[in-house]
């Protein structure tokens, strides 16, 4: 149970966050426990997380602000392990380094800053930029369906797929109540996410586009994120190929311009070798 000081401090911080939230951050305490906060980080532009919807929790100690919270992220991001405590200077891993002047907004800005860096710590993981883009593109689906563990279907669409048994690797299915927990804490966001899936005809159980007829069309939301990179990738590939061709042409032109000198040098070398062999 929160102390009176902690309750007063967290109530004030919620009011401040509600009226003046930091960019890409929103958060609120649980209705049943003011020490348990839920946050959403929106992936900032020009990062691999752009547009992603990352849900996590802060669990404060009863004597906050004289001790830091436990910090977790529940949405797969390619940066943090899901549901594990994160070892940050602003988390409960380092209570002695926590400054009581830091607020919830300070803590979440620190999480967002660390997320967009490449520093490693307990609870963080390595992933490629492409993998992080994939997870950002599927984050809404992941949050509102519990990574496909929902039994809800889109309007007019019967459930034709069973939840996958995949529990390892990129985009692994987590068979738990994550979808319900997200809906309980973020009902408005959850409804927006379902509308997003309706508009794109995303199968809630698989994350695939419903009714796609080919492998190219039958893709999950992350495919569009990878397609956005295709133009730039092709341009870079063209530059590399063009550069290699130019280098080969330059080399061939030099040989044609200097063939006579090369022939004389070859004859001269042959004479020197023959004389050396004759003197032996």
Q: Which residues are catalytic?
A: 87
**What is each CA distance from 248 to 244, 245, 258, in whole angstroms?**
6, 5, 16
The answer to whether the CB of 40 falls within 8 A of the CB of 115 is no
Alpha-carbon span 107 to 87, nearest angstrom:
13
- Which of helix, strand or coil describes residue 170? coil
271 Cβ contact partners less than 8 Å away, ≥ 6 residues apart: none
Alpha-carbon span 184 to 279, nearest angstrom:
97
Strand order, beta sheet including 53-59 = 25-29, 36-42, 53-59, 70-73
Respond yes or no on whether the N-terminal peptide bond of residue 65 is cis (omega within 30° of 0). yes
């Amino acid at each position: 149970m929160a102390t009176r000081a902690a309750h007063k401090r967290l109530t004030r911080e919620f009011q401040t966050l509600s009226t003046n939230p930091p960019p890409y951050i929103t958060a609120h305490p649980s209705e049943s426990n003011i020490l348990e906060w839920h946050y959403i980080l929106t992936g900032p532009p020009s990062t691999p997380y752009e547009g992603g919807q990352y849900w996590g929790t802060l669990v404060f100690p009863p004597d906050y602000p004289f001790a830091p919270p436990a910090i977790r992220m529940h949405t797969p991001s390619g940066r943090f392990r899901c549901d594990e405590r994160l070892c940050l200077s602003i988390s409960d891993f380092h209570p002695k380094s926590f400054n009581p002047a830091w607020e919830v907004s300070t803590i979440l800005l620190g999480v967002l800053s660390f997320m967009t860096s490449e520093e490693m710590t307990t609870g963080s993981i390595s992933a490629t930029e492409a993998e992080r883009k994939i997870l950002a593109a599927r984050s809404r689906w992941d949050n509102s369906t519990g990574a496909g563990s929902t039994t809800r279907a889109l309007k007019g669409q019967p459930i034709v797929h069973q939840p996958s048994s995949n529990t390892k690797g990129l985009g692994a299915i987590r068979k738990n109540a994550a979808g319900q927990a997200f809906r309980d804490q973020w009902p408005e966001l959850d409804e927006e996410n379902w509308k997003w899936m309706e508009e794109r005809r995303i199968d809630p159980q698989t994350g695939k586009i419903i009714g796609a007829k080919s492998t190219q069309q039958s893709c999950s939301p992350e495919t569009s994120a990878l397609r956005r990179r295709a133009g730039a990738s092709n341009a870079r590939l063209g530059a590399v190929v063009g550069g290699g061709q130019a280098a080969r042409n330059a080399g061939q032109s030099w040989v044609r311009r200097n063939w006579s000198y090369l022939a004389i040098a070859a004859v001269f070398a042959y004479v020197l070798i023959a004389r050396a062999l004759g003197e032996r």
